[in-house]
């Protein structure tokens, strides 16, 4: 049984606490927030037995009864918290993005390896049964060799609030940092070697707060697979992923936030069918169960999770994308 501590009791901290009730190998023993009001709300919403509450992040990190930490704070805090958790021998699940840029990512990578802890980044869709089925379809060559990938994640924000986490540069705002990691993570899921990624085109737009609210790119992998990725805070995109191969096409209608029942569309020539996917657990419960299982087994790598090597690869391409749209 993994004894979890949560740092940060905002939206994702609350979702984690709700989902953990579905799991069989995890429990929350402690939470921490610098906001007393959020602690009160959390205690009102949940009734975890013998819960220890801290108003200081260092105290939960040093708590000997906690053997894994879920970091659910703002983007700009992740870098320091990951380092402190690893120094205190705590295994880590951190919300994306795990750092603000590639240089920070390299430093965190070294900390994780030096302190020999297990790290995973919070791409919950990776643990959903849908992702396993997608992998099987591709590996069994039902689509033939993959030639094209299109992937998007975008939603419309009606008003730019300079102080919000989405638009405040100091807090790690911007579309690439907030959601650009998703389409890049699906490319990473199939193609690991970052040296074979080539950005053919990149474009974007910036708000008055100097963060990107829209970005797109064309990426070539292994000199043959053409990929188009797009993210936005300005419009509701299709938020899907399409894999095209020499023999067929797969449409993932809900790649990022799949429900307990979701569907895939597969076409091969004149043939077309829908494949229903069912999950016993909710999205975040799937992730917690799988991560906890890996922590128990001291397993540092899993193709259905994003480990520190994957995180660094994704961040490298995010940083390249961000720099290219500023040129």
Residue-wise pLDDT tens digits, 215-254: 999 999 999 999 999 999 999 999 999 999 999 999 999 9
Are 44 and 175 part of one and the same domain?
A: no
pLDDT at 192: 83
Of the candidates 70, 96, 124, which is a domain's last residue?
Answer: 124
Please check whether residue 51 is in contact with residue 148, taking contact to mean a CB–CB distance below 8 angstroms.
no
On the 0-12 / 13-18 / 19+ scale of CB atoms within 10 A, 253 is: middle
- Output phi, psi for 243, to 5 deg: -105, 125
pLDDT confidence band for 49 (50 / 70 / 90): confident
Same domain, 137 and 278: yes
98 and 183 co-located in one domain:
no
Let me know if residue 289 belongs to a domain. no
Domain shared by 157 and 106, yes or no: no
Residues 132 and 230 reside in one and the same domain: yes
Domain boundary among the residues 73, 96, 124 is at 124
| Least confident window among 10-19, 159-168, 209-218, 276-285 | 159-168
For residue 287, being part of any structural domain is answered with: no
| Residue 96, token pair as written in the block | 């994306």
Residue 236 lies in a domain: yes
Decide which of 193 and 181 is more confident: 181
CA distance readout (Å), 327 to 9, 139, 198, 207: 38, 38, 17, 16
Domain count, the chain: 2
For residue 30, what are the domain limits?
Answer: 2-124
Based on the domain organization, do 46 and 190 belong to the same domain? Answer: no
Tell me, yes or no, whether 246 and 134 share the same domain. Answer: yes
User: Do 49 and 187 fall into the same domain?
Assistant: no
To which residue do tokens 């023999």 refer?
Answer: 247
Residues 221, 225, 226, 228, CA torsion sign: negative
State how far the Cα of 307 lies from the Cα of 137, in Å rounded to an integer: 23
Report the DSSP pairing between strands 197-206 and 212-221: antiparallel
pLDDT tens digits for range 272-288: 999 999 999 999 999 99
CATH number of the domain residue 57 falls in: 3.40.50.720
Decide which of 302 and 192 is more confident. 302
The answer to whether 284 and 127 have CB atoms below 8 angstroms apart is no
Q: In this structure, what CATH number is given to the domain that contains residue 272?
A: 3.30.360.10
Q: CB neighbours (10 Å) of residue 322?
A: 22
Q: Which of 107, 124, 141 is the last residue before a domain boundary?
A: 124
pLDDT of residue 195: 66
Say if 230 falls within a structural domain.
yes
Which has the closest alpha carbon to 184: 105, 294, 265?
A: 105
**Is 77 part of a structural domain of the chain?**
yes
Position 319 in a domain: yes
Least confident residue range of 16-25, 27-36, 85-94, 185-194: 185-194
Give the ranges where the chain is alpha helix by DSSP (H). Answer: 11-20, 36-45, 57-62, 78-87, 102-115, 129-139, 175, 181-190, 283-296, 308-325
As a whole number, mean pLDDT of residues 259-280 equals 95
Say whether both 196 and 233 belong to one domain: yes
Q: 104 and 135: one domain?
A: no
| Nearest-angstrom CA–CA distance, 249 and 142 | 9
Do 170 and 263 reside in the same domain of the chain? yes
Together in a domain, 99 and 141 = no
Residue 15, domain member (yes or no): yes
Q: Is 99 left (phi over 0), alpha (psi -120 to 50) or beta?
A: beta
In a domain, 67, yes or no: yes
């Amino acid at each position: 049984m993994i004894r979890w501590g949560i740092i940060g009791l905002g939206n994702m901290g609350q979702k984690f606490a709700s989902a953990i009730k579905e799991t069989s190998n995890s429990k929350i023993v402690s939470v921490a927030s610098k906001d007393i009001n959020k602690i009160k709300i959390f205690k009102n919403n949940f009734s975890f037995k013998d819960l220890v509450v801290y108003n200081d992040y260092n105290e939960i990190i040093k708590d000997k009864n906690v053997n894994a930490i879920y970091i659910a704070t703002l983007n700009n805090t992740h870098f320091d918290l990951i380092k402190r958790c690893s120094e205190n021998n705590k295994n880590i699940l951190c919300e994306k993005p795990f750092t603000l840029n590639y240089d920070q990512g390299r430093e965190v990578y070294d900390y994780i390896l030096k302190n020999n802890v297990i790290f995973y980044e919070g791409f919950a869709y990776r643990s959903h049964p849908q992702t396993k089925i997608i992998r099987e379809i591709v590996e069994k060559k039902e689509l033939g060799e993959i030639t094209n990938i299109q992937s998007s994640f975008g939603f419309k924000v009606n008003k730019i609030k300079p102080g919000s986490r989405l638009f405040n540069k100091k807090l790690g705002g911007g579309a690439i940092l907030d959601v650009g990691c998703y389409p890049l993570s699906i490319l990473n899921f199939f193609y690991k070697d970052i040296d074979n990624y080539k950005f053919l085109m990149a474009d974007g737009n910036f708000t008055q707060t100097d963060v990107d609210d829209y970005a797109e790119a064309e990426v070539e992998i292994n000199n043959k697979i053409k990929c188009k990725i797009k993210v936005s805070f300005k419009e509701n995109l299709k938020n899907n992923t399409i894999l095209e191969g020499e023999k067929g096409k797969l449409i993932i209608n809900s790649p990022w936030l799949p429900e307990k029942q979701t569907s895939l569309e597969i076409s091969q020539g004149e043939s077309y069918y829908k494949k229903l996917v069912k999950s016993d657990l909710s999205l975040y419960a799937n992730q917690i169960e799988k991560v906890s299982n890996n922590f128990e087994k001291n397993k540092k790598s899993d193709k259905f999770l994003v480990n520190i090597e994957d995180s660094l690869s994704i961040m490298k391409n995010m940083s390249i994308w961000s720099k290219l749209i500023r040129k």
